[in-house]
Amino acid sequence: MVSSAEVTDRGFKYDRRWILVDRNNKFITQRQFPQMSLLQVLVEEHGLRVFLLGELTRQIVVPFEIGEKEVEKVTIWNAVCDAINVSGELDHWFSNVLNKDCKLMYMPDETMRPVDTTSGYAPKGKFTSFADAYPFLLMGEASLNDLNSRLQEPVLINRFRPNIVFVGGYPYQEDVIDDFVINGVKFTGLENCSRCAIVNINQENAVKEKEPLKTLATYRRNINGIPFARNVVHTGTGIVNVGDEIFLV
């Protein structure tokens, strides 16, 4: 968690500008490799410090400045876009930690990946980084509290990986939020996020569990899946701070 973040043309600065791919340059995620949940990241002045949860001796810095590199094509879902390999040293470190032969790729500023999801939403002029489909995921704290009231063991919000969380309001209010403004930046909710089994991975130990998807399915399932949180795009740039008000428009 950070106290503030810069909104850029494709989402928060540094947010998912890096991706791990296999040797065929296809993206890999916690879906196949739950141990990825143990990778923790700190934003520092010159790069991202990545370390393994519970093993602070196993850490490395991913630099912000990479230099000239040959462009390669990487595949993420239905998108193919340009990326560059950060370094062989980092490839080796991640491959060793994850016990999976992989490469760390970076999205340069020249790469503009349009928002184009498998569900058919493709808003013109909207871009994202290496996120599944959208630059932002909006979630209300009240929704998590309601879910946890139904569970025998409460879960943490990191199961759902939202990057905008609001307090107040009522449970699942984000389902119906369309246009809103935070500190002068306009956001638009486009569709609710249908959750996959990643939410069942305990982010503290990488163990796959049955909850919370099992319980969510009992009261949230619809024809599109099991929605929890809302996918969002934006217009404009600026700074968003913890504590900023959300204005519905």
- Provide the CATH number for the domain formed by 127-248 in this structure: 2.40.33.20
> What ranges do the domains of the chain cover?
18-106, 127-248
Q: How confident is the model at residue 106 (pLDDT cuts 50, 70, 90)?
A: very high
The per-residue pLDDT for 56 is 79
The three-state DSSP-derived secondary structure of the chain is: CCCEEEEECCEECCCCCEEEECCCCEECCCCCCHHHHHEEEEECCCEEEEEECCEEEEEEEEECCCCCCCEEEEEECCEEEEEEECCHHHHHHHHHHHCCCCEEEECCCCCCEECCCCCCCCCCCCEECCCCCCCEEEEEHHHHHHHHHHCCCCCCHHHCCCCEEECCCCCCHHHHCCEEEECCEEEEEEEEEECCHHHHECCCCCCECCCCHHHHHHHHCECCECEEEEEEEEECCEEEECCCCEEEC
Tell me the per-residue pLDDT of 176-231, one tens digit each, with 9 for 90 and over. 999 999 999 999 999 999 999 999 999 999 999 999 999 999 999 999 899 999 99
Q: Which whole number is the average pLDDT over 164-186?
A: 98
Q: Which whole number is the average pLDDT over 104-130?
A: 91
Looking at the DSSP bridge assignments, the partners of residue 113 are: 128
Tell me the per-residue pLDDT of 123-162, one tens digit each, with 9 for 90 and over. 999 999 999 999 999 999 999 999 999 999 999 999 999 9
The per-residue pLDDT for 4 is 96
Res 121 pLDDT > 90: no
